[in-house]
Chains A and B, each alone.
Chain A
Amino acid sequence: MNYNPNLTRSMMEPLVLQLVAERKRYGYEIIRVVNERTNGAFEWKEGTLYPCLHRLEEEGLIRSAWEKAQTGRKRKYYGITRRGRAVLAEKSSEWSSFSTAVNAVLFSITGSTLPSGV
């Protein structure tokens, strides 16, 4: 399914926060993990991730450091900050109540059942 690009872009920040909260990750890895977990549903242009990462870093939600991978190649790893965790929790809760509200409206009026997986 092709999602509205505006919708997927607006979800980029919480998703990135969640992924770097799990462990330190570099840009390409984030793209790869998102693709894997969404079965390629989110077709982000890879480069759009970096402005997002830099914005989050500037806001103090994540921090970066150059590190050497086991392969010997240097990559810039991003990790979440304490403030980032708080924002992530807030965004997750916001999304949870938002999606519940949207589902309640969309699916109760038409009387249809919720799609599987929601």
Chain B
Amino acid sequence: MDKNSRFGKFAETLTAGLGDDYELRLDVQQEVKAHLEDSYIKHKKQGKTDSECIKLAIKSFGSSEQISSDLVAANRRRMKLHALTKLIIKAVIVPAAVILAVFLCVERFMVYKSAHIFNDSVSEYAFTQKQPNLNNFDTKTEKYIAYANYVTSAMDKYRDDLPRLTEILIKAEQLEPDNARYNYLLAGVMLKEATENPEFVDQRLLDQTVDEVIKGSAKPYYKRYARETLAARMKVYKDLNVEAKIAMIKVAAAANLPDIYWMRKLVEAFPFCSRLLSNHRNDQKATELLNSWLKILKGMNSDSFCLGDTLLISRLVNVDIPKAYKNLGCSRQAARTELFQELYNKTEKSIWPERKTVVSNKGRKHFGFLVETFLSEIGGASLLSTSDIAIERELEYTVLERYAVNALIIFFLFFMIISIVLSIFYRISKATVPAVLISSFKESIKILGIGVILPVTVYFIYSKLTNCGLREFGINHTKYIITGNFCLLTVTVITLTIALALKNIVRRCQDLGIVSDEINVSKRDWWLWGMLAALWLLTFMFTNDTFSIGTACLSGLLLLAFFVLLFLKIRRLSEKQNLIYCTIASSLVSVFAFAIILIACTVYPALEMREKHLIANDKLLIPGHSELPVFTRMEGDIVLKMKKRTDKVFAKLAKLQP
């Protein structure tokens, strides 16, 4: 038996009493072997033979039985502490990390599911509509509110299924004969059908459209149950957590969205319809149609309760009805409607001086998500100023940041699971493998501080100063840039954490004799730092979507390549290498678990607090806090003032009636 085997066997016998604490056993074995080696060298220098040197080294070390029991007594508390730490990691930290990750990333999003009890039309959550109790609004015809909500959903969902929409709207009109909303919507549907082929307009259907508009304009209400419908919807959100509040705001903001498209298309077609009727020598009907314009606006104004309504009225006021009157030879009505437009626009300017008109695509980068939502329906004419939407913009961005943090947590969870799988995969049968603990508390702080907190903080500060303040992200194109940045942030955090933890673990494995000393872990990973810095620098320099997505994909690919290489190496591993990989994989589990807990307990609550502050600190109104389901106080003021002032305009106009 050679020297190393003899010393190794002696050290093993000496440390047998240290039981299951494999890390401590290896540590003491290494120490004993180093001592025996020194002793061996001393005897060798005295000119003794190899065999004598080995014997003397072991002899002068002392009785293995006595020392073994003394070592156990000396390390009892440490062994208990190690066992307890590992038990806490296995039984508390890792499960807690999994529970936190699942809770934050899955459970908190359930609110969006509940939002669909009222059959909301957002396609991503269509799965909830499969539930039978959620899909029978059309059978609950005795409930006006439920049916009104169903119509809202249907107007968006069946936009291209005109026969179905016609059927639904006829049923709605029978249910609520006082509401003009269904006549107008039905007219909108019929108009679309009549003008589907621009070369051949279906005159009969167009006549029916006009009849339906005239019929609707004679009714006392525009949309009587809209507010009640929204109130019923809001009751769905029982837990008022941040997601619920944001979902409520979004639902409230978009409450009348599906109607807007149809109403706009219908009213904007009035001049065309009147011209067509006039061509067919039906001037009287054409005049009746144009007369309904003011009635529609009046009805809309009295039932308006959110910014969407106000924006729609503003758009419809500026349809060129005076010119249509002039074409029919009705100069008096033309003058009257012109006066109305003038008074309305003057009122709007006095209340909402910052309102601008979009003239080019370039201007679009100053939209918030709310305005973007309305934009396609309003037709790109209306816009809030940057200061108007500053709060909603920050809120949206903070929410987006929190989603990025969610993604980070999910990635850490993924890597933790991978590490657990790898540690099982590499485990040699019956062999004990130590899950190495990070050498000190200071080192743990260093790994998590530099690996997680530092890059996240630096990026959030940077983005608060740039993305949040100067850039808009409501538009998808900008969202891609932000998403790309977040992907790169995730890759950076994970790469740094793994690199720093690996360094520490490998160094410890070298102390324990698991990994060869030939690997130099002390050298700095300049290539890694350089690569990440270069990616970030390029991202900051070229802030366009293609580049941002490109760098994110590139960094993701590098990470993927790392794992592919790791799996390719699996087949060719020796037993010794298996031990190395198994030790590293099982040691990384606790690092990932701590990273998840750290993010979940620091970054996540900080962002959530900011959101709560934005929502609750009198800056944003929550639906139900005021009589209007509005997003911002400014928006509420505009809606209320415009409603009152527009009523005054109508009253003024009535006085001028001949």
Interface residues, chain A, with chain B CB atoms under 8 Å away: 26-28, 45-48, 50-52, 54-55, 58, 66, 68, 73-76
**Chain B contact patch, size range:** 20 to 34
Contact B517 A51 (CB under 8 A): no
Q: Is B173 in the interface zone, CB < 8 Å from A?
A: no
Chain A-chain B contacts (Cβ-Cβ < 8 Å), number: 70
Also in contact, A76 and B67, with CB within 8 A (given A54-B74, A58-B75):
no
A sample of 6 inter-chain contacts (CB < 8 A) reads A46-B60, A48-B62, A48-B66, A54-B78, A55-B73, A74-B511
Which chain A residue shows the least CB distance to B67? A47
Which chain A residue shows the least CB distance to B512? A66
Residues of B within 8 Å of A76, CB to CB, are 27, 30-31, 34
Residues of A within 8 Å of B30, CB to CB, are 66, 74, 76
CB-contacts of B25-47 with A (<8 A): 27-28, 30-32, 34-35, 37-39
Q: Is B281 in the interface zone, CB < 8 Å from A?
A: no
Would you give the shortest CB distance from B43 to chain A, in whole angstroms? Answer: 12
**Looking at the complex, which one of B62, B70, B75 makes contact with A46 (CB distance below 8 Å)?**
B62
A45–B62 CA distance with the chains assembled, in angstroms: 5
A52–B74 CA distance with the chains assembled, in angstroms: 7
Residues of B within 8 Å of A73, CB to CB, are 34, 37
**Looking at the complex, which one of A26, A51, A68 makes contact with B74 (CB distance below 8 Å)?**
A51
A33–B71 CA distance with the chains assembled, in angstroms: 22
A74–B521 CA distance with the chains assembled, in angstroms: 14
Residues of A within 8 Å of B62, CB to CB, are 45-48
Contact A54 B75 (CB under 8 A): yes
Contact B39 A46 (CB under 8 A): yes
Residues of A within 8 Å of B70, CB to CB, are 48, 50-51
A36–B219 CA distance with the chains assembled, in angstroms: 113
A27–B61 CA distance with the chains assembled, in angstroms: 11
A68–B511 CA distance with the chains assembled, in angstroms: 10
Q: Is B210 in the interface zone, CB < 8 Å from A?
A: no
Contact A28 B35 (CB under 8 A): yes
Q: Is B628 in the interface zone, CB < 8 Å from A?
A: no
A63–B14 CA distance with the chains assembled, in angstroms: 22
A75–B38 CA distance with the chains assembled, in angstroms: 10
Would you give the shortest CB distance from A96 to chain B, in whole angstroms? Answer: 27
Contact A66 B511 (CB under 8 A): yes
Residues of A within 8 Å of B362, CB to CB, are none
Q: Which 3 A-B pairs have CB atoms at the shortest separation, nearest pair first? A: A45-B62, A51-B70, A47-B62
A87–B28 CA distance with the chains assembled, in angstroms: 25
Residues of B within 8 Å of A54, CB to CB, are 28, 71, 74-75, 78
Would you give the shortest CB distance from A60 to chain B, in whole angstroms? Answer: 11
Residues of A within 8 Å of B78, CB to CB, are 54, 58
Highest count of chain B CB atoms <10 Å: which of A48, A66, A68, A74? A66
Residues of A within 8 Å of B31, CB to CB, are 27, 50, 76
Residues of A within 8 Å of B204, CB to CB, are none
Residues of A within 8 Å of B510, CB to CB, are 66, 74
CB-contacts of B15-33 with A (<8 A): 27-28, 30-32
Contact A58 B74 (CB under 8 A): yes
A28–B28 CA distance with the chains assembled, in angstroms: 14
A26–B27 CA distance with the chains assembled, in angstroms: 14
Would you give the shortest CB distance from B513 to chain A, in whole angstroms? Answer: 9
Q: Is B63 in the interface zone, CB < 8 Å from A?
A: yes
Q: Given A50-B31, A50-B70, A51-B71, 16 other A-B contacts at CB below 8 A?
A: A27-B35, A28-B34, A28-B35, A28-B39, A50-B71, A50-B74, A52-B74, A58-B78, A66-B30, A68-B517, A74-B34, A74-B510, A74-B517, A75-B34, A76-B31, A76-B34
Instruction: Flag B491-534 by CB within 8 Å of A: 1 or 0 each.
Output: 00000000000000000001100000100000000000000000
A48–B28 CA distance with the chains assembled, in angstroms: 13
Which chain A residue shows the least CB distance to B37? A73
A75–B66 CA distance with the chains assembled, in angstroms: 24
Highest count of chain B CB atoms <10 Å: which of A50, A58, A68, A74? A50
Residues of B within 8 Å of A74, CB to CB, are 30, 34, 510-511, 517
Residues of A within 8 Å of B71, CB to CB, are 50-51, 54
Would you give the shortest CB distance from B446 to chain A, in whole angstroms? Answer: 16
A28–B62 CA distance with the chains assembled, in angstroms: 13
A76–B439 CA distance with the chains assembled, in angstroms: 14
Would you give the shortest CB distance from B37 to chain A, in whole angstroms? Answer: 7
A26–B31 CA distance with the chains assembled, in angstroms: 9
Would you give the shortest CB distance from A33 to chain B, in whole angstroms? Answer: 13
Would you give the shortest CB distance from B61 to chain A, in whole angstroms? Answer: 4
CB-contacts of B118-158 with A (<8 A): none
Would you give the shortest CB distance from B511 to chain A, in whole angstroms? Answer: 4
Contact A55 B74 (CB under 8 A): yes
Contact B34 A47 (CB under 8 A): no
Instruction: Flag B56-83 by CB within 8 Å of A: 1 or 0 each.
Output: 0000111110110011011101100000
Contact B61 A47 (CB under 8 A): yes
Instruction: Flag B157-177 by CB within 8 Å of A: 1 or 0 each.
Output: 000000000000000000000
Also in contact, A51 and B67, with CB within 8 A (given A45-B61, A46-B60, A58-B78):
yes
A66–B74 CA distance with the chains assembled, in angstroms: 19
Contact B73 A51 (CB under 8 A): yes
Would you give the shortest CB distance from B653 to chain A, in whole angstroms? Answer: 89
Would you give the shortest CB distance from A43 to chain B, in whole angstroms? Answer: 10
A58–B24 CA distance with the chains assembled, in angstroms: 13
Residues of B within 8 Å of A45, CB to CB, are 60-63, 67
A76–B28 CA distance with the chains assembled, in angstroms: 10
Residues of A within 8 Å of B27, CB to CB, are 76
A6–B161 CA distance with the chains assembled, in angstroms: 100
Would you give the shortest CB distance from A15 to chain B, in whole angstroms? Answer: 17
Would you give the shortest CB distance from A52 to chain B, in whole angstroms? Answer: 7
Highest count of chain A CB atoms <10 Å: which of B34, B60, B511? B34
Would you give the shortest CB distance from B55 to chain A, in whole angstroms? Answer: 14
Contact A46 B74 (CB under 8 A): no
Instruction: Flag B78-99 by CB within 8 Å of A: 1 or 0 each.
Output: 1000000000000000000000
Would you give the shortest CB distance from A44 to chain B, in whole angstroms? Answer: 8
Highest count of chain A CB atoms <10 Å: which of B27, B31, B71? B31
A66–B77 CA distance with the chains assembled, in angstroms: 21
A54–B81 CA distance with the chains assembled, in angstroms: 14
Would you give the shortest CB distance from A6 to chain B, in whole angstroms? Answer: 14
A47–B15 CA distance with the chains assembled, in angstroms: 12
A102–B35 CA distance with the chains assembled, in angstroms: 37
